[in-house]
Structure 1
Amino acid sequence: MTLRVLAAGPLLSVQDPGRPGLRRFGVSAAGPMDPPAMQLANALSHNPDTAAVLEFAGLGGRFHVTRPALVAVTGGDCDLRIDDRPIAAGESHRLMPGETLFIGALRDAVWGYLGIAGGIVSPPVLGARSTHLRSGLGGLGGRRLIEGDVLPLGPAADALPPLRAATPRVSSGAGPVRIVLGPQHQRFASEVLARLLNESFTVSSQRDRMAMVLDGPRLPAIEGHDIVSDGTVPGAIQVPGSGQPIVLMAEAQTTGGYPKIATVIGADLARLAQMPTGSALRFAAVTRDQAEEIWIAHRRFLRGLRDDLQTVPDGAPDTAYLLSCDLVGLFAADEILAPVLPPNSPPGPT
């Protein structure tokens, strides 16, 4: 029971929830760039949240399976087909041996997920299957997947029904990206903090699973940009000597020597990760207590999304089901995104 990669999109890798609890040993958690989208891919595939999926950037690729399997693609809308038959993202479909699953370019998103019933059962490393590309841990040899790779699948029941989400997108909503001021925000003058909160930034092309550099107003520190290295977390906004903020992501290093002006709250970090290169954004400050309340509401929304999954009819769909589908979006003309991850362009946090 295997999944074969016939063609691989950028940064295609195995991901599961990651390796929490090891940062004190210098091992970052890794895991998905968009955890809610990964959880939805697993839910649609009748998997637990802990199952491993495939994550890709911008473009998915082509895949075969050696046994019948339910598959689901989440993260954003895209050209999605089994052989020549268009199918919808955000719901699960039966993929049979001999058929080809094609995942095209994501529209208005960067990170996509392919869930498969039974999950991917590559050997766990330090308690997880997640690939940490920077350090070569997990997944398949610690690297991105390429054409010809074969991945083992876990067992799954034969009669699992296809599912779809009642809510079409997993989102923390629109509006500013919410932040909590960071442990070194005192190193920035009040007018610089006002610049952070009142001016617009743009997602630059310098981005990967480790970090994202933002273009926009410079954020100079009062006493320079070198500090004694201390702990970092995904979402931390470091400011190096260039004054350009760097937002740490899933593969963030565990310590850093640049001052941290703020931290993106957990409920908004996936939304930031999904913003295509060139997107404009603004920040809004919240208190730690407010961030915790937002997180509780966010988790409640995600639980409700899984609880409200609907069964998709096998065979010819009935009228009620067709009326509930976004057929215009499904058959919209394909869009090819500009490259979102330039090769060999690490953002360079410390």
Structure 2
Amino acid sequence: MITILETSALNTVQDLGRPGYRNLGVGSSGVMDPVALQVGNILLANQPGDACIELQTYPFVLRFETATSFTVTGIDADITLDGRPVLPWSVETAAAGQVVRVGPPRKGARGYVCVAGGIDVPVVLGSRSTQLRGGFGGMDGRPLEAGDTLTITADSTLVSGYGACPPSAIMDDVGDSSDGRVINLRAIPATDYALFTPESHERLWTAEWRITPQSNRVGYRLSGEALRLHHPIELRSYGIVPGIVQVPPAGEPIVQLADANTAGGYPRIATVIEADLWRLGQARIGARIRFHECSHQQGVAAMEPIRSYLDNLRMMVTHYRKSAQRRNGAKPGDKA
């Protein structure tokens, strides 16, 4: 059991989302940074789809009512366990009654509190993710509040003392922004790309776009010089998935994200590839992003470094946990 002691707005229970219902008007939801959640679940030997707490606002404080192992991924921040500093992206074991505090991030935007066995809230349409707009999933379809209690799936295997390198530390960035102040994203020209002027095409790929305060889990609104169509056009509504870059009449793009609408009608100029959505999910309000054109084949191939990173981490964790069990005298066949 977990008790929330302090939280700000918009912190929610999330997992990898609920695909398969967009045709019924139900978005996928899920974490904004799926790589960070997968890392947390691998570190704790959880199932890939186990739920976590996604943090968007800080500080966040919780108390463990039962002993459990946990990790905080996604961000670089000051994290303490009963006042003792602990490292992000590493596994720690908390005793019953101990308190974890997560401070504002120095790097990244969204943190993921993962616990051994995962957060146990009701499954709705195949997922535990919170759908704030629909008011379902997670904790009664709403953000977490101080005083909330969350059940965690029991796991008698308490192992700690290891961690992961953040993906940003080992995966090559896109583009040439060595100062780290620009987030580079690969994108594929979308269905309506040819409807935009050549000047808009060039602007899309060369300009730096700023994420405005009018941004959230639904989508990031970007500010910059307007993108223009050859002539005004009205489109029939079409299905939307995270990553699509739409251009409203004012000409400033919107990138659809985890809580994306299921349908829309603005012209589509590009789509951020799946392999880079985690980078966008960790972008802060006010950050600048730059799009880099790539092909469909390049977008598919870009997933391979992520799969390799996660596979290597999974192998390391399995080896470490088995070694720890042997040191602790566990019997063969016990859960690793």
> Normalized against structure 1, the TM-score is what?
0.85
- Establish whether residue 220 from structure 1 lines up as the match of residue 219 from structure 2: no
Contact map agreement 1:58 1:112 (CA 8 A) in 2:
no
1:323 match: none
1:288 match: 296
Alpha carbon RMSD of aligned pairs, Å?
A: 1.9
2:328 match: none
d(CA) in 1 for partners of 2:232, 2:310: 41
1:43-192 matched pairs, under 5 angstroms = 43-165=42-164, 167-170=165-168, 172-175=171-174, 176-192=184-200
Q: Which amino acid aligns with 1:244?
A: E
Which of 215, 218, 222 is 1:210 aligned to? Answer: 218
Which ranges of structure 1 fall in alignment gaps of 5 or more residues? 315-350
How far did 1:306 drift?
2.8
2:329 match: none
d(CA) in 2 for partners of 1:265, 1:94: 36
1:333 match: none
d(CA) in 2 for partners of 1:291, 1:141: 37
2:332 match: none
How far did 1:157 drift?
1.8
d(CA) in 2 for partners of 1:139, 1:225: 40
- The DSSP-based 3-state class of the residue aligned with 1:296 is helix
d(CA) in 1 for partners of 2:9, 2:128: 19
d(CA) in 2 for partners of 1:93, 1:225: 55
Which range moved further: 153-162 or 185-194?
153-162
2:263 match: 255
1:108–1:191 distance in 2 versus 1, CA, 3 Å: same
d(CA) in 2 for partners of 1:74, 1:161: 15
1:225–1:304 distance in 2 versus 1, CA, 3 Å: farther
Contact map agreement 2:222 2:254 (CA 8 A) in 1:
yes
How far did 1:60 drift?
4.8
How far did 1:160 drift?
3.0
- The DSSP-based 3-state class of the residue aligned with 1:297 is helix
d(CA) in 2 for partners of 1:283, 1:158: 44
2:178 match: none
- The DSSP-based 3-state class of the residue aligned with 1:308 is helix
d(CA) in 2 for partners of 1:72, 1:79: 13
How far did 1:6 drift?
0.5
1:303 match: 311
Q: Which amino acid aligns with 1:261?
A: I
Contact map agreement 1:60 1:112 (CA 8 A) in 2:
no
- Count of matched residue positions in the alignment of Structure 1 and Structure 2: 312
> Normalized against structure 2, the TM-score is what?
0.88
1:159–1:82 distance in 2 versus 1, CA, 3 Å: closer
Q: Which amino acid aligns with 1:163?
A: Y
**Cα-to-partner distance string for 1:138-158 (whole Å, 9 max, x where unaligned):** 001111101011111111024
Q: Which amino acid aligns with 1:46?
A: A
Contact map agreement 2:3 2:62 (CA 8 A) in 1:
yes
Contact map agreement 1:55 1:111 (CA 8 A) in 2:
yes
d(CA) in 2 for partners of 1:99, 1:20: 36
d(CA) in 2 for partners of 1:223, 1:303: 48
**Cα-to-partner distance string for 1:157-213 (whole Å, 9 max, x where unaligned):** 244344311x24456542331000011111101111111011111122221111001
Which ranges of structure 2 fall in alignment gaps of 5 or more residues? 175-183, 325-336
